Structure 1
Amino acid sequence: MKTIGVLTSGGDAPGMNAAIRAVVRKAQKLGAEVIGVARGYAGLIQGDFRRLTSSTVADTIHRGGTILLTARSEEFLTEAGRARALENARREGMEGLIVIGGDGSFRGALHLHKKGFPVIGVPATIDNDIPGTDYAIGFDTALNTAVEAINKIRDTATSHERIFIIEVMGRGSGQLALAAGLAGGAESILIPERPIDYDEIVNRLEKGRKRGKLHSIIVVAEGVGSALEVSKEIARRTALESRVTILGHIQRGGNPTAFDRILASRLGARAVELLVSGISGKMVGIRENRIVDVDLEEVLAGKKDIDQEVYELANDLAL
């Protein structure tokens, strides 16, 4: 395989550029060229291509976002759109494609694989909701961003003796909320994988007040619902005043952590190795600090649950 394509798709995640860099430089080491596809599958349909070289990706390992840009493509969901994307890729000389993104991106990758076009997926999402890998690129950076915000909010929460409810990203996954809540010392963590127990939340708040606690932090995953609604329900039950902070897209930005840079570099390089060796339809991931590859069909058929031991530990420590 002499020419490989690479694209980033779906929500951006810190470390995507480090992955692109690894793809380009590993491919160059193995004697292959890399074509960057701008704006994900939309760019594949529109033929928005650019040659990537070692110089092109220089000074990018530390940058957040994605130099290839990203977009969602409704047209790629159609048979005609996919056919056009394949036609453009082959006309450009691509012999395989590396897709950096989340589950939606992998569904597109699996379709191309089934059409006979070699594809390897690289997991990159701050939600960390991809089965088959312990971590996705971007999760660690987003986690550190959320914890830093919690630390700062705790200062003002203590000063004003208030309850603060902090909403973090995660769609239908509580991975980010659970990790941020545990690392940030939250009294309660609300995630979509577990039912909300308002009686328990109120009980924790009241026990804390009796012990002389000056503040409380509650972390809410966006997949549970609005933090504003949680605030209203707590107020209805306790008459305690609370403030809501929605972290939003700040969690996606910023320089990737060292962990994400290393993870992206390892996954990107391994994706190239698999492609040039004739392997397709796989996702590269990490388990117990070892790089692995998993069938895309298996990844998309599964669901990543939270670690029950971590969830129980967070509850045990939130006294």
Structure 2
Amino acid sequence: MLKNDWELHHICLVVRDWNDTLDYYQSARMGVNVGPQVMYLDYRNGGPAEFYSNDKLPRTNGGSGPGKPLKVESKRERRKEEEKRKRYKFMDKDCQVGDLLLEIGQNRSIPLEGITHLCFNVPDINAETDKLLEKGCKLMSCITQSDIILENHIDTRKYGNVDISFRPPVLQHEQAWIDHVRSHPNLKDWKFHGIGIGIRDLDKAVEYWEMLDIIDFQSETEIDSNSLAPINVSSESMESNFKARVRVGQVGSVAFEFIQPLEGASIYHESLDSRGEGVADIAFKVADLEKEAATMIYRGMPVVFNGKPKNGPAFACFDARENNGNILVKLIQRD
């Protein structure tokens, strides 16, 4: 079921050093540092926020694995963390990339960096949460203020390792902040399209997400690198020779592209090898792909995969993984 009343608020990228990532986005001219979010200005008279975390669930990670923790916490460190969770203080650094708010979280001990969740503003958090809980999902965490739910995280990580969170509709102060941020003169005219998710079993992933009843899938397609028409975005020849199964679905306005590699080496094989299932790329539609590609290459992000399918727009994937939580940036030619 297409969720027309779900409005994307942000996607969250968790890295070990958020300053490095923010600096990377700004120095590459992809985004603008916009500081912490201001949602709590609209709830400042309600007292401190409380944070609940379901400790029975695996911690948020940028992939399903393989991957070994960088650090093993001591019992003392775990107790300190539990005390922090009892009284929640919202901390984030954010980057505006085109019309996308990229929330950047820092966790120095996270085993695998990457995109962890997408947050949607919905008319009724309780109703949307209950629907997913009835489908067998678990509540990962909840931020409340008095009797108001400010954000719920629902565990939808079974296939694709990405969870969904809900917030209430945007109110006055936050809307003013959003409008101000999006008017920044240095922002690129990029329109957020969606995420590409590396998956091991496409059929099981589609069955699971259809069961959640929050996505509308298109018919299955195939990526065959040999069938893509060449486009003029790079002087370097692309040697990729691979095939993959693909299903694209809409969650609100966001495209979820599930990709199961079949044969040959590819960026999606690399993503599965390095993080397990999880978000491999974030995609934007642009007015002039060739112009944007020249800028990206000049800024040190080489093209790793590009072309024009028979029934679709030209695209190019850029290697921003080293400083971007192991996430590629994909640009798609707008109509």
Would the TM-score normalized by the shorter structure come out above 0.5? no
Radius of gyration: which is bigger?
1
TM-score (norm 2): 0.27
**Greater share of residues in strand:** 2
